[in-house]
Amino acid sequence: MHLSTEAIVCAVLAHGEHGAIVRLLTPADGLRAGYVRGGRSRRLRPVLLAGNVVQAEYRARTEDQLPALTVELVHSRAPLHGEPLPAVAIDWATALAAVALPESQAYPHVHAALDGVLSAVEAAPAARGWAAALVRYELLLLSELGFGLDLSGCIATGTRDDLAFVSPRSGAAVSGGAGAPYAARLLRLPPFLLAGGEAGWGDILDGLALTGHFLARDILADRRGAVLAARERLVERLRRVTA
């Protein structure tokens, strides 16, 4: 097996004294793991940072063997790791891809969305510039993995107008009128997820609560530990920004 491609660094796990097992998200071949000799060296540590774009070369004698992986830096997002809020956002967005996606299956839309979020963080490190994109990325990943929300119309009345809530059980939209008596038991559906455009802080936090519920229930149910802890740190810091 030989694969040469650009890819986004999503996860790095120390292996042995000097090596690392690295998971990269590629545009056409999905999430791919490989062993990087010297991956923990002073030369390669700055290359193998989450969110960086690298040129990757995978080589293995058989498809069942963990490939040897060599990387060259294409684009560095290292400066963002020195900024507390962007660093947490990058850690969460890349860790989600590394944990949620099955290996060696193509998810070009997820790759494009992740690259878009990382580029938004880079272009405007202030959270207002990228937080809405992060919510859309999480929503897309849910959909790509078969857990998409049904926001096409109200599950109770069929109307496509005034959609204001989502059922936490079915993942289906509920109109404001039908959902008002049960608002305390429903998740708020922020307008920017339907109509696009800019989002206020309240809507962004509602969006993160919405996607977070279904990510924890449907995708990360058995893998909550460190991955969801990264998301909780991110949401808590966003709340501080908006306070």
Distance of CA 111 to the CA centre of its chain: 10
Average pLDDT score over residue span 148-160: 96
Give the full edge-to-edge strand order of the sheet including 173-175.
173-175, 163-166, 187-188
The mean pLDDT value for 72-83 works out to 96
Q: What's the pTM value of the predicted model, to 2 decimals?
A: 0.94
Say if residue 222's pLDDT is above 90: no
pLDDT at 27: 97
Q: What percent of the chain is modeled with pLDDT above 70?
A: 98
pLDDT at residue 229, rounded to an integer: 85
Q: How far is CA 141 from CA 76, 137, 149, 205, 236, in A?
A: 24, 6, 11, 18, 22
Average pLDDT of the segment spanning 113-119? 97
Domain ranges of the chain: 2-76, 81-151+189-242
The dihedral built from the CA positions of residue 52, 55, 59 and 62, taken in this order, carries a sign that is positive
Instruction: Give the CATH class of 2-76.
Output: mainly beta
